[in-house]
Amino acid sequence: MATEIERKFLLQNDTWKSVARPGVRYRQGYLCDSGPASVRVRIGGQQAYLNIKSATLGVQRSEYEYEIAMEEAEELLAQLARKPLVEKTRYCVAHAQHIWEIDVFEGDNAGLVVAEIELRSADESFERPPWLGAEVSDDPRYYNVCLVEHPYKDW
């Protein structure tokens, strides 16, 4: 079984920008976001994916991801995905032994910036970067799937 172990954090400042790799723009939409799993289509740069993720809360969830044709991804986003789409730019920052992914959201979620780290186990230790703020891993408002129905601008 494919498992994602991911923790999410807010940021306390933007000093991460000076060490970040160039960002990649993402557009993603949900074909299904209720029941035991969410089904998402995501375009990031020149690649497109279909992603299925268990709808459980917490840092550990089942996740399956498959590359799909860009043309099909565009059609799915235009015709079948719930609106509005989630749009963001993702930046990667290496810190200690980990890569942090920092998502700067756009559109209805503009102003929201979240850092994520993927771990090998739920209890794996990691060094906190100086720009890292409060953990929000257990707050469903910060899940991308929730940002469609309850965007950051409405909080």
Token readout for 72 is: 């099909």
Q: Backbone phi, then psi, for 120, in 5-degree steps?
A: -85, -25
What is the DSSP secondary structure assignment for residue 70, as one 8-state letter? H
* CA dist., res. 75 & res. 46, Å (int): 15
Reply yes or no on whether 91 is catalytic.
no
Tokens 């099909």 correspond to what residue? 72
Q: Backbone phi, then psi, for 106, in 5-degree steps?
A: -125, 180
Name the strand (E) or helix (H) holding 136: none
Strand partners, 6: 118
* CA dist., res. 113 & res. 11, Å (int): 7
Catalytic residue among 26, 30, 91, 143, which? 30
Catalytic center residues:
30
